[in-house]
Structure 1
Amino acid sequence: MTEQAIFQGRAVTPEQFLAMVGPEYRQLRIYPTCPSCGSDLAPYGVHSTKVQSRFDHPDKTGCPLSSTPDARYAFLRPNGWDWAARERLFARLCETENLKETYSVCRRIIPGLNSEEFYRACQRAYQYGVFGYRGIELWVLPYLLVTLEDFPKNDKRSIPYRFVLHKPDHTAIDVLWLEPQNCVLRAYFADTGNPMKRREIRIPDAEAEKGREDTDWMKDPLIRLLRRCCEEHGHASVSAG
């Protein structure tokens, strides 16, 4: 369930949706959509004095906003959405220097991170509406991206593992940029889910942040690969602006 949905390109509450469309939305087959997965949603409890109004979400979709989310991504619940800001933030990420810095910070956290792994993480972030989280900031994206994929063994990684975001209980994902000092990334074995003995990644992490100043080694062939997600979502031009 979610308190907001997307309709006509902006976030709306159940009350706003019904005011725009009317109570015959089912007969008209007009529905708002989930900001995370795009499923059709239905308003619930708008005139109730016993429950808070919300949008009901189809079950068994694995979406972070459904009542049966994939446990891996259940933490991806924001306090609100800003759909107009979504494309602006994504466009900023796709500026060449920002893209390079984001990738470089991710590589400091995940040794040997390649362009395909970075692409998959960016795709999942776009799929789940991460760029539309209200108030999310560009600098925090690396710390979210590295939680969205498992990272298999390679010449820089001796075992497959994943990072899990630890934040205060019962808080929305917004705490990651509003109170980053209260959040950490911890590594877990990808196959068993057991914790690994390696240092926690603070947010922001001093060692990882050095990556923002270490991008000169990236050449055009790599940068073109990093642009793949940008190009697939309409941001082929990645010049700074």
Structure 2
Amino acid sequence: MPDHILLVEDDPRLAEMLTEYLSQAAFRVTHASNGRAALEHITAGDVDAVILDLMLPDMDGLDVCRQLRAVSDIPVLMLTARGDAIDRIIGLEIGADDYLPKPFEPRELLARVRAILRRRVEHRHQPDNTPQRAAEFLRFGRLEIDPAAHAARLDGVPCELTAYQFDLLLVLARHAGRVLSRDSLMELLKGEAMEAFDRSIDVHMSRIRAAVEDDPKKPRRIITVRGAGYLFAKVQD
């Protein structure tokens, strides 16, 4: 069965164009013109990814994203106006997986949708009981990173991270003690360079710090090396 995309967009012309384009790319598309209808579809289940416009007639798209994240971890691609940088940052911090500023090329939208769906499928089908996966369990003092469960815990408490943020944390942890540039991180994350291009990786790093650091403003685990990249420190607290 084709992947089911929920398109949350109040512009009828844009919604019709995107529905036709995504349908031609073998997706099943449901259109919701407002936030309440979107949340009803999500609650009912059977949605594989959400394309979410932030400008909706009945409620803020950020509120939709918050409520969605309270009940589901399905991938979310936000659509934002070009000048709304603060909305993009907040959206990523509250759990969106990616964003795309308007106006955009439909081909880029399609590429980003496929990328967030591909990551979800890869995570869902990771083997979790093999000796190799068990050996990959990482522990740095109070921080535990479990690739098999796709989960990180600090003092035994689960860290709230999106799939992409967990992948970034895992790559850093597997290369603990080494400085990784943005390009290196993207290559290790299978080359999805769109994230590096728009620098949203910096926002994701801030969200990871909020989840794994005692004081995100004075990080001890994920260090920014100015002009070089990021370093995961082997903290054993």
More strand by share: 2
Which has the larger Rg?
1
Question: Could you say which structure has the greater relative contact order, defined with CA pairs below 8 angstroms and 6 or more residues apart?
Answer: 1
TM tier, smaller:
0.3 to 0.5
Q: State the TM-score, normalizing by the size of structure 2.
A: 0.34
